Amino acid sequence: MARLSRFLILYGSQTGQAESIAHEIFDRCTTELDLSDHGIEVAVYSLEQISRKFDIEKESTIVFVVSTTGEGMNLEHVDYPIS
């Protein structure tokens, strides 16, 4: 079946909390909801580890899971890959 749309999960985390939540969302989408049976690709990426840029206008659904410690400053070592 051709991919109809994508459910993209991008996370950024300093303590691992956002990563855990992002993977929980991914797991639920791929097991409980089984979105692939409906032609929806589910993907999860760390904002810190990806080198590609995402064009948000071409994505069907994006969920950002981001957490920080302290006073809400940008995450260290994250180049926000949005054009």
For residue 60, being part of any structural domain is answered with yes
Question: Which tens digits make up the pLDDT trace of 21-39?
Answer: 999 999 999 999 999 898 9
pLDDT in tens, 2-12: 546 899 999 98
Q: Would you place residue 53 in the very low, low, confident or very high pLDDT band (cuts 50, 70, 90)?
A: confident
DSSP class of 34: -
Q: Is the distance from CB of 12 to CB of 44 less than 8 angstroms?
A: no
62 has which bridge partners? 8
Answer whether residue 79 is part of any domain: no
Q: Domain range holding 21?
A: 10-66
Q: Tell me the residue type at 23.
A: H
- Tell me whether residue 78 is in a domain: no
